[in-house]
Structure 1
Amino acid sequence: MEVEHVNENMIRVFLANHDLEERGVDVLDLLGNRKQIESFFYSILEEVDTDHKFSKDQAVTFQVMPNTKGLELLITKIPSEMDDKTTDFNLLDEDSAKTEVEAKATEDTTDSATSSTAKQQVILVSFDQFEDFVDLSRNLVLEAGQSDLYQYQGRFYLKLTLFVDELRNLNVDDIQAIAAEYGNLETQAPETIAEFGQEVMSQTALELARYYFR
C-alpha cells in the first residue's frame, strides 16, 4: 500500500490487488453495493491517518479510481463551513459517470435498434480472468447492441445482444472474431448464465469497463 499526504486536507492511497486480497476485498466489490464497501474505506482512513488530522466527526469524501492493478483512493476533508455531517462516497463520481456512460451508449445505439422488432443475435463469451474482459472492452465498441457481464462458477461471462439490422462498421462475424481474441465463444444457453450467475454489470458492461478501467 502506498500512502501520500497530498496536503492537510487530502490523502492519496494506492492499494494494489494483493493489498485488497489481504483485506478480503475485490475490485469487483466496488461495482456492487457501495454501502457495503464504505466501512472498508473508513478502516483504510484509520490506518493511514497516523497524525489523526482527520477526526472521527470530520466529514470526508472518498473518490475511488479502480484499474487492473488495484485502485487509487483519494480521501478529502470537507471544509467546516460546508460540513453537513454527511459523508460523500463515490466511485469516480459514480452517478455522473454512469449517466455519461449511458448517454454514450444511447448515442451508439439508435432507437430502432432497441425496438422489440429489431433482429437480434446473442453471443456468449467466457473469460478465465476479469482482466481479459477489460482488454476486450478496450477493443470492441458496440454500435448497436447491449452487453451484460456475469460471474458464474469462477469464470466471467459476457452476453452480447446484437441488433443485427443496425450494425454498420462491424458485422456479427467481425464481433465474434474480436471477442474470440480475448475470451472463448460459448455454445451453452445464455439464459443459464443469466439465471444462475451473479450479474456484475448490466446492459452497458463494455462501456462501463472502458470508463472505470481506462
Structure 2
Amino acid sequence: MRILKVNDNTVRIFISFTELADRNISLADLFQRSARTEQFFWELISKARDEVDFSLDQPFWIQATVASEDEFVITVIKQEEQIDAEINHIIQTAFGEKKKNPRPSPKFASEKQWVYLFEEFEDVISAVRLLPGILQLQSALFQYEGEYYLTISNIGNPRKKKLAEAILDEFGESVMTTDTFLKEHGETIIEEDAVKILKRLEKKKRS
C-alpha cells in the first residue's frame, strides 16, 4: 500500500489486489457499501492522516478505479461547500433529464459501440467471465448513479457478436447512452481494456 498526497484536498491510496485478498475483501466488495468496507475505508484515512497529514474535516468525494492488473486506487477529494453544491446540481439535473427522456426503442445506440447497464458489480464480473475472447475488443467500465456501465466496441465476427449479446443480455441491459456522457458525468473505473483486465483479475482470484 502506498499513499500519495496530491494537494491539501486530494489524496490517492494505492492498494494491491493481494492486500485486498489478505483482508478478505474482493473487488466487488469495494463497490458495495457495507460495515466491513466502511471500516476498511476509515482505516485507510487514518493511515493517510498519519503518513501524509491528510484528514477529513469536511464533505468529500470518493472515486475508486483500477490502476493496473495488480493495483487499485482510491482517490479521496475534499469539497468546498460551493463546489459540492455545484456538483449536486449537475447530478440532479442529469438525473432529471434521464427521467424526462425514456430510452428509445432501438436495441443499440450504435452498431460500433454497445453500452450495457448492470445494477451490481457482481453482474459485471459474471458477464465478463463468460464473454468469448475477442482479439481487437475495446472496452471501458464506468459508474453512474450507483450503477455500472460497460462499453464495448470492435466486437468481432457475427457469431461472437451473437454470443456476446446473449451473455450481456443475461446479466445486464442494453442502454442508449455513450461513453462521452459517462466520462463527463460518471466515474471511470477502468478506462481501457476493461473486459481483459477483469477477466485476468477473476482468473487470478480463482487460481
Q: TM-score, normalised by structure 1?
A: 0.46
Structure with bigger strand share is 1
Q: TM-score, normalised by structure 2?
A: 0.47
Structure with bigger helix share is 2
